[in-house]
């Protein structure tokens, strides 16, 4: 998996590299500027063909320092470059000052209030106002510029954001302030690794194309770092050449009553597709005929109450459970959830099971480390109302409380893995290990927003746990497969199609 960093982690990595004498801050700034110019010419080759006009907006920190480097490099390409500075040049930090002076030898520096706004006035706008040091909402002349630029609605406008679009918090992907004012970039060039904010919340819709430039820093893995889930780095999902069905686990998916069995059937199909050796639907008597008419490889067993459930769970071959999709919210269902939690089996709690946990104060304490909760935003708010509130409150200062923070806090409180759904799905363990499955940028899967898709995800995670994967890797692999199946299928996809894509996706990542 690839690490993505907070601003503080990035600063620490830079600091260590500079302190060790491996590189100077000035060298890093030069490489950052070059990385942006190279990415601009790669993204828009037409800009490299003839000299053009650039407007470079520089802020009061090192992001502004990068801007002066970019201005100098574009000038060296023969461009007409105009530079606008926010604030007092005498207060720039040292490396930015050096590059300010280098630029001053080549051209003027005007004040930000005079910066042009319209596409006709420049071929390229460079946003070097704020990067990882954004501390509060945009205001004053910068805010005016951002609003005017947004109102201009230029077709084919080209704005490159240096490190991160100004106004966006690099830890959370949230816009600081109540107004949602942020530079809208077509290209964002970050350095060393992407930042968490590029992937969460509105980060991906604000950055345009995201490019990460190598500035020669060495990676320094750390337990606290957040990972991006990647298909190429999932645990092995191949089946053993010598296995039999029971060696691949037996998943039990509990269904609700008649006329609401679809969700459990979708989950069961998902569990089977990702390789559980057997999948059984636990079905109330009244729904038997309905389910029997619609399943083939999935098996069925009548489970009406806790007694029948306990009998089934006495079979040690049942290796994972899924409870919640279409399950119901009655007292029998609540008793069954309690009975399941008492068994300490690998269990995915989704949909109605999450609502039951939220309604019964004793339930949260019964959750354990082999559970995975899979809430969407509404379910998350029911389960963890105070945490959800902190996440919804408009952030006034940076770094802002993020979905990563919220999921980590929820997992610590629940004592189990929490998979907080969305295009920016965050998965956290109670110990704070955390990853993001980002169905954004080239991995976007917008057709996942369809009825029943969450049921399939619950089934995927259950199937992988039934096969013996631990809760967090199962949640990560399930989330990645889910989004990738939808991406591969593309437009027109409905929930039934998701699991059907598993064979193609498995083949593509070498699963056998
Ligand atoms: N430190 C280094 O060696 C390197 C830093 N790099 C660049 O440096 C950036 C980080 O630099 P800094 O830490 O100086 O932070 P920034 O340049 O992002 O901004 C910090 C400055 O902006 C002010 N500020 C924050 N929010 C404001 C607001 N809303 N309105 C007005 N002023 C505000 C702060 O008081 C501070 O003066 C990175 O994003 C990256 O672009 C790169 O050059 C790579 C090397
Ligand atoms: K920026």
138 Cβ closer than 6 Å to some ligand 1 atom: yes
pLDDT, residue 160, reads 98
Distance CA 2, CA 219 (A): 10
Give tens-digit pLDDT for 451-462: 999 999 999 999
- Nearest atom within ligand 1 for CA of residue 91: 37
Is residue 137 a known part of a binding site? yes
Q: Ligand 1 centre from 65 Cα, in Å?
A: 9
Task: For residue 388, give the nearest of 377, 375, 374 by alpha carbon.
Answer: 377
Closest C-alpha to ligand 1, atom 36 = 61
Give tens-digit pLDDT for 233-254: 899 999 988 878 778 999 999 9
Q: What percent of the chain has pLDDT over 90?
A: 92
Tokens (6 digits) for 261: 């069995």
pLDDT, residue 1, reads 64
Is residue 15 a known part of a binding site? no
pTM recorded for the entire structure: 0.97
267 Cβ closer than 6 Å to some ligand 1 atom: no
Distance CA 483, CA 498 (A): 9
Among all bound ligands, the one having the nearest atom to the CA of 93 is 1
14 Cβ closer than 6 Å to some ligand 1 atom: yes
Is residue 66 a known part of a binding site? yes
Q: Which DSSP symbol is given to 399? A: S
Task: For residue 61, give the nearest of 164, 158, 160, 148 by alpha carbon.
Answer: 164
Please answer whether residues 100 and 92 qualify as being in contact, where contact means their C-beta atoms are separated by less than 8 angstroms. yes
Question: Please, what is the average pLDDT of the chain?
Answer: 96
More confident residue, 232 or 473: 473
Q: What is the ipTM of this complex?
A: 0.98
177 Cβ closer than 6 Å to some ligand 1 atom: no
Q: Ligand 1 centre from 94 Cα, in Å?
A: 12
Is residue 263 a known part of a binding site? yes
- Which structural domains are found in the chain, ordered by start? 2-222 (3.40.50.10260), 247-392+402-508 (3.40.1190.20)
Q: Ligand 1 centre from 62 Cα, in Å?
A: 5
Give tens-digit pLDDT for 244-299: 877 899 999 999 999 999 999 999 999 999 999 999 999 999 999 999 999 999 99
Distance CA 489, CA 430 (A): 34
Give tens-digit pLDDT for 36-90: 999 999 999 999 988 899 999 999 999 999 999 999 999 999 999 999 999 999 9
367 Cβ closer than 6 Å to some ligand 1 atom: no
Please answer whether residues 59 and 130 qualify as being in contact, where contact means their C-beta atoms are separated by less than 8 angstroms. yes
Please answer whether residues 208 and 198 qualify as being in contact, where contact means their C-beta atoms are separated by less than 8 angstroms. no
134 Cβ closer than 6 Å to some ligand 1 atom: yes
Residue in this structure with the two tokens 């189990």, named with its chain if needed: 416
179 Cβ closer than 6 Å to some ligand 1 atom: no
Distance CA 196, CA 406 (A): 14
What mean pLDDT is predicted for residues 25-34? 98
More confident residue, 152 or 186: 186
Please answer whether residues 282 and 305 qualify as being in contact, where contact means their C-beta atoms are separated by less than 8 angstroms. no
């Amino acid at each position: 998996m690839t690490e993505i960093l907070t601003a503080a982690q990035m600063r620490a990595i830079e600091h260590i590299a500079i302190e060790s004498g491996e590189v100077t801050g000035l060298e890093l700034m030069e490489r950052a500027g070059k990385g942006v110019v190279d990415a601009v010419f790669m993204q828009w080759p037409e800009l490299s063909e003839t000299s053009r006009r650039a407007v470079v907006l520089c802020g009061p920190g090192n992001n502004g320092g990068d801007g002066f480097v970019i201005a100098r490099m574009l000038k060296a390409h023969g461009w007409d470059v105009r530079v606008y500075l926010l604030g007092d040049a005498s207060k720039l930090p040292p490396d930015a000052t050096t590059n300010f002076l280098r630029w001053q030898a080549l051209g003027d520096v005007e004040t930000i209030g005079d910066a042009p706004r319209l596409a006709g006035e420049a071929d390229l706008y460079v946003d070097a106002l704020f990067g990882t040091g954004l501390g509060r909402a945009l205001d004053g002349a910068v805010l005016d510029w951002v609003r005017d630029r947004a109102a201009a609605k230029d077709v084919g406008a080209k704005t490159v954001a240096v490190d991160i679009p100004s106004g966006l918090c690099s830890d959370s992907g949230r816009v600081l302030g109540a107004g949602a004012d942020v530079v809208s970039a077509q290209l964002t060039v970050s350095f060393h690794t992407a930042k968490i904010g590029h992937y969460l919340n509105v980060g991906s819709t604000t950055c345009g194309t995201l490019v990460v430039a190598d500035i020669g820093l060495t990676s320094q893995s750390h337990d606290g770092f957040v990972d991006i889930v990647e298909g190429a780095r999932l645990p092995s999902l191949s089946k053993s050449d010598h296995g039999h069905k029971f060696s691949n686990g037996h998943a039990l998916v509990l269904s609700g009553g008649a006329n609401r069995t679809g969700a459990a059937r979708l989950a069961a199909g998902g569990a089977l597709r990702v390789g559980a050796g057997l999948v059984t639907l636990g079905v109330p008597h009244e729904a038997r005929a309905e389910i029997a008419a619609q399943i083939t490889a999935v098996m069925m067993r009548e489970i009406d109450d806790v007694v029948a459930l306990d009998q089934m769970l006495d079979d040690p071959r049942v290796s994972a459970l899924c409870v919640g999709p279409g399950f119901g919210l009655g007292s029998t269902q609540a008793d069954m959830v309690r009975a399941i939690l008492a068994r300490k089996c690998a269990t995915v709690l989704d949909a109605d099971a999450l609502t039951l946990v939220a309604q019964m104060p004793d339930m949260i304490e019964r959750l354990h480390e082999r559970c995975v909760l899979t809430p969407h935003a509404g379910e998350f708010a029911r389960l963890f109302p105070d945490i959800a509130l902190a996440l919804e409150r408009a952030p006034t200062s940076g770094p802002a409380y993020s979905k990563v923070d919220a999921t980590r806090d929820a997992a610590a409180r629940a004592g189990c893995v929490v998979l907080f759904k969305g295009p920016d799905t965050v998965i956290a363990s109670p110990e704070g290990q955390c990853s993001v499955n980002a169905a954004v940028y080239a991995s976007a899967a917008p057709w996942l927003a369809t009825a029943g898709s969450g049921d399939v995800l619950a089934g995927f995670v259950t199937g992988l746990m039934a096969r013996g994967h631990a809760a967090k890797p199962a949640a990560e692999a399930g989330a990645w497969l889910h989004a990738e199946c939808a991406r591969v299928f593309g437009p027109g996809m409905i929930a039934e199609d998701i699991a059907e894509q598993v064979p193609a996706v498995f083949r593509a990542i070498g699963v056998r």
